[in-house]
Chain A
């Protein structure tokens, strides 16, 4: 008995040790980022480095708000990501509804075509995208960013929502139609609530993609006042001497919205279906 018991205990200890190590590797850098962001300039370069700041301060955050355009970038990021989510959901839900509820020639071919575009990486699109946007005269606008993010998220959104809509029985809508509701009302009151988890998930994925994007914004936006956070912060990083306290404060603030959305969706992610829904 005792040999088996010892082996089991050793096994448990090993699992805890490996799990703790993984958590340390994944989470440790974020703790250090937070720690640095709360240190006054003198302490940032202290030797030996200390995890807990001796004199914690919000000075880095104050300077970030007062001396840089961080708040402008933040507002732009929220605006562009929010609009991209809205447009993606409307266009995606309409398209997915069409793909599951109406019959027309080429429906299946359209679905396959859409799936194929899921494979394209931004670097393969962004150069001609930029030249075409310039020709049309919409480069350096938020509109072109919103359109870029939307079309980039659409393939996945359409496929996921199609899968969701397929699980909603047709009879429910037909019952509503029989009761005298028109098609739009039937969709809004019967289908949409049932597809809500799918709508929320695709919304969050679109938000994260738009919020995290670097390459489209770098290439399509040239005015400082239109930049979003990733590009704005990179430019902060560029300026002569690297102010690590300030940069880490910016890092903390960009991470917070991602953290909030991640915590909201985390359970469903691990539950399974979300695994195919991420890009990059």
Chain B
């Protein structure tokens, strides 16, 4: 081994050359991330201090005027509120249903592999497909959902799912359908690493299924749950495509105009790039504060991140 190492030492390029090769091979990736992610994010902060048209080069430094404007902007507060309703309801439902589904699909039964594949699949499809599919299913006149609910006697009259009263419900439904599999997948993966003999021993001791869940399963999935809730919160709070596509042309779109959609519209409907950027910066700040609080509150309870 020592002799081999010495041979390598002789054949190896010098330390300096090694460093150079190392830096050269990481460089393309680093340049892309710095130039195309971090630089735009930094530029966004600068942009939020400008009065700038989205397409024309003219710009004017206005300091914090964009933020001051938004502070007094009713539409901003509405979008923030709608975004909170949307994120909280979808996250709670995704996590609860995801855990329940994972517990069931963890049990051995015939056809389990196929069942898992089918249940995970909605997460893999383009959002546009999820949205057109559900807008067809939820169509007020010809939709299958209204037809089935009425045929079963659960509804007297068809519901206008994409109307002002129900569009948020429809959006939450579609989002949970599309993103619950992520939670399911993460929990299912973790469940498979819990030693089976823990459950066997508990059964011998006469512990009920509920007690086994509370005292064995829950402590084991706590770590992954911590990460999953964090990621899903970040992603649901910044979710753009599902929300935008559900509201587009639906008439009642403004009842689901969450913060990301509002930022998009300020930039590309009203061409106020500065205001759009300020909204994105606010979104980012809320996420940062939220993440810090989340860590403060829950981190102590979790051993492994």
Binding site for B on A (CB under 8 A): 12, 15-16, 18-19, 22-23, 25-27, 29-30, 32-33, 36, 44-45, 47-49, 91-92, 94-95, 97-99, 101-104, 107, 110, 113-114, 117, 119-125, 127-132, 134-135, 147-148, 150-152, 154-155, 158, 174, 177-178, 183, 208, 211-212, 214-215, 219, 229-230, 233-234, 237-238, 244, 247-248, 250-251, 254-255, 258-259, 261-263, 266, 269-276, 278-280
Contacts and interface: CB of A to CB of B under 8 A. Distances in A.
Nearest to B8: A174
Contacts of A99: 26
A5 B188 CA distance: 28
B116 to A, nearest CB: 6
Which of B22, B126, B147, B277 has its CB near the most chain A CB atoms (within 10 A)?
B126
Contacts of B105: 19, 22
Interface residues of B, number: 96
A110 B185 contact: no
Interface in B266-291: 267-268, 273, 276-277, 280, 283-284, 287
B256 interface: no
A215 B241 contact: yes
Given A128-B47, A266-B120, 10 more contacts: A30-B121, A102-B19, A110-B26, A117-B37, A127-B47, A131-B43, A148-B36, A230-B126, A254-B125, A276-B186
A128 B40 contact: yes
A114 B109 CA distance: 41
Q: Which 3 A-B residue pairings sit nearest by Cβ, starting from the closest?
A: A102-B22, A121-B238, A95-B29
Contacts of A12: 109
A48 B147 contact: yes
Interface stretch (B70-78, B88-96, B128-136): B128-136
10 contacts: A22-B105, A92-B29, A114-B30, A127-B263, A132-B40, A147-B32, A148-B36, A244-B139, A261-B124, A271-B192
B26 A98 contact: yes
Nearest to A265: B124
B234 A119 contact: yes
A62 B115 CA distance: 33
Contact of A98 (B22, B115, B239, B283): B22
A134 B127 CA distance: 26
B22 A101 contact: yes
Given A244-B136, A255-B125, A255-B129, A124 B182 contact: no
B128 A94 contact: no
Nearest to A26: B119
Contact of B40 (A25, A101, A129, A263): A129
B206 interface: no
Contacts of A247: 132, 136
B287 to A, nearest CB: 8
B138 to A, nearest CB: 10
A103 B22 contact: yes
Contact of A208 (B47, B117, B119, B124): B124
Contact of A19 (B4, B38, B40, B115): B115
Nearest to B46: A128
B41 interface: yes
B189 to A, nearest CB: 4
A75 B126 CA distance: 16
Interface string B18-47: 110111111011101101111111011001
Contacts of B267: 127
Contacts of A230: 126-128
Given A98-B26, A110-B30, A278 B276 contact: no
A95 B280 contact: no
B80 interface: no
Contacts of A104: 19, 22-23
A49 B124 contact: no
B64 interface: no
Nearest to A180: B11
